[in-house]
Amino acid sequence: MSWFNQIGPFPQFVLFSALKIVVVFSVLMFIVAYAVWVERRTAALIQDRLGPNRVGIFGLLQPAADAIKAFLKEDFTPAQVRKAYYWLAPAIVMIPSLLTVAIIPFGSQIGDQKMVIADLNVGVLYTFGIVSLGVYGIVLAGYAARSKYPFIGGIRSSAQLISYEIAMGLAVVPLFLIGCGLDPAHLSEAWQKFLAGTSSLNLGRLVTWQATHGWLLIYAPISFVIFLAAMFAETNRMPFDLPESEQELAGGYNVEYSSMKFALFFMGEYANLTVAAALMVTLFLGGWTLPIYGLDQPATTAVWGLLHIAVFLAKVLCVMFMVIWVRWMWPRFRYDQLMDLGWRRFIPLALANILVTAAFLWIRA
């Protein structure tokens, strides 16, 4: 490795960044593929069916078969669509999730390398800015189709985003007030210092093992509930999947799509779900930390660094499984119920939560 030490710090940074991008993208696409398999098997179990079990052992090669099918199907473009927007929409839906994963800290460090692609000091603001762009793809898909069901789906998605994006942003403000900052990569370390009493704030210690290891869910439960509900709406998942709503809109904004363009919408949904779950784990569930010696502090060896990554991925998969389970157990909200919940319940509750948190910190200061 002598050549590596001679190329200088900047080429080393570029090389490691490229390596992290390739690895993270590969893992994300693997999770996206097999999240579909898990969802099908979970739905089959709940509905007393078998699910995919023919292609490979237990149907494990079904995602590969689906990918081959998507590539080989005829790419048909209806005559009435607005072609430029029709082709652009699927890419816009997929890209935000790939950009957002760049600031997710999927571990502490391995050697001198932090386990995050882009260590931004305003990573949370970057996340909300990028995530909000995904709705443009859905709105464009509904507009470009020149069909009533896709158009209604696009309108629903934009209204849903406006109501829940505000609530989601307000939900994380108490975390910043507590003193955790805007950088997801340093959130766990900042919270450890806060709990140890080395920061300027001190709320005391709760007698729970979660609290001593940075699980903000314990200190900000209202923020967690609002963020969780907003995550369902942001990712168009049941019970807030009104932009698609198969029983009402026959699939909504993606009705007129086929082949790989439809597959991009499909992949974008599960990629957004994966990134949203990773963000929830980072903000509320302690990130890569666990109450075990070596897993509650930054890594000192490569083995501990890999264990941190494994812990983080395990938490992400648990959150994703919870979201999948909810889809097959809860009924869909009506559209007026969704708007009422967003504008008249969650936004006032999030504002009240900020005021109460600020007042409590001011009294304890």
pLDDT digits 0-9 by tens, 211-231: 334 577 777 888 889 998 888
Query: Bridge-partner residues for 110, per DSSP?
Result: 113
Whole-number pLDDT of residue 215? 72
Asked if residue 93 belongs to a domain, the reply is yes
> Mean pLDDT over residues 98-121, rounded?
79
The whole-angstrom separation of Cα 279 and Cα 271 is 12
Asked if residue 7 belongs to a domain, the reply is no
Global model pTM greater than 0.75: yes
> Mean pLDDT over residues 204-214, rounded?
37
Whole-number pLDDT of residue 214? 55
Write out pLDDT tens, residues 247-297.
777 767 777 787 888 888 888 888 888 988 998 888 888 777 776 655 666
Torsion of CA 178, 181, 182, 186, to 10 degrees: -120
Domain count of the fold of the chain: 1
> Mean pLDDT over residues 321-333, rounded?
87
To which residue do tokens 């579909």 refer?
A: 36
Residue 5, CA distances (Å) to 11, 64, 106, 114, 178 in order: 10, 40, 26, 18, 41
- Per the model's pLDDT, the better-predicted residue between 81 and 213 turns out to be 81
Q: How many CB atoms are located within 10 Å of the residue 97 CB?
A: 24
Whole-number pLDDT of residue 6? 62
β-bridge pairing 113-114 and 109-110:
antiparallel
At 301 the three-state DSSP class reads coil
Asked if residue 99 belongs to a domain, the reply is yes
Residue 19, CA distances (Å) to 52, 93, 190 in order: 34, 25, 27
Asked if residue 38 belongs to a domain, the reply is no
> Mean pLDDT over residues 142-170, rounded?
81
At 333 the three-state DSSP class reads coil
> Mean pLDDT over residues 195-223, rounded?
52
- Per the model's pLDDT, the better-predicted residue between 330 and 351 turns out to be 351
Structure tokens at 304: 């501990």
- Per the model's pLDDT, the better-predicted residue between 26 and 304 turns out to be 26
At 113 the three-state DSSP class reads strand
The full length of the chain comes to: 365
Asked if residue 188 belongs to a domain, the reply is yes
* 91-100, 174-183, 321-330: least confident range: 174-183
Q: How many CB atoms are located within 10 Å of the residue 133 CB?
A: 14
Asked if residue 58 belongs to a domain, the reply is no
> What is the residue type of 26?
S
User: Confidence band (pLDDT; 50, 70, 90) for 179?
Assistant: low
To which residue do tokens 């314990």 refer?
A: 218
Residue 317 has pLDDT above 90, yes or no: yes
Asked if residue 43 belongs to a domain, the reply is no
The whole-angstrom separation of Cα 63 and Cα 68 is 9
Whole-number pLDDT of residue 217? 76
To which residue do tokens 């890209």 refer?
A: 95
Taking alpha carbons only, the member of 127, 157, 123 closest to residue 143 is 157
The whole-angstrom separation of Cα 102 and Cα 278 is 11
Taking alpha carbons only, the member of 170, 172, 196, 193 closest to residue 184 is 172
To which residue do tokens 């929409």 refer?
A: 89
Q: Apex CA 336: angle with CA 149 and CA 131, to 5°?
A: 70
Write out pLDDT tens, residues 131-148.
777 778 888 888 888 788
Taking alpha carbons only, the member of 219, 231, 222, 126 closest to residue 180 is 219
Residue 205 has pLDDT above 70, yes or no: no
Torsion of CA 110, 111, 114, 117, to 10 degrees: -80
Residue span of the structural domain in which 246 resides:
73-364
Residue 195 has pLDDT above 50, yes or no: no
Structure tokens at 77: 């473009």
Asked if residue 50 belongs to a domain, the reply is no
* 148-162, 180-194, 197-211: least confident range: 197-211
Average model confidence (pLDDT) for the chain?
A: 78
Distance between alpha carbon 76 and the CA centroid of its chain, in Å? Answer: 31
- Per the model's pLDDT, the better-predicted residue between 247 and 30 turns out to be 30
User: Which runs of consecutive H residues, i.e. helices, occur in the chain?
Assistant: 2-6, 9-46, 62-72, 83-100, 123-131, 134-145, 148-171, 173-178, 187-196, 216-219, 221-234, 246-249, 259-284, 302-327, 335-340, 347-364
Torsion of CA 242, 244, 248, 249, to 10 degrees: 130
The whole-angstrom separation of Cα 163 and Cα 33 is 30
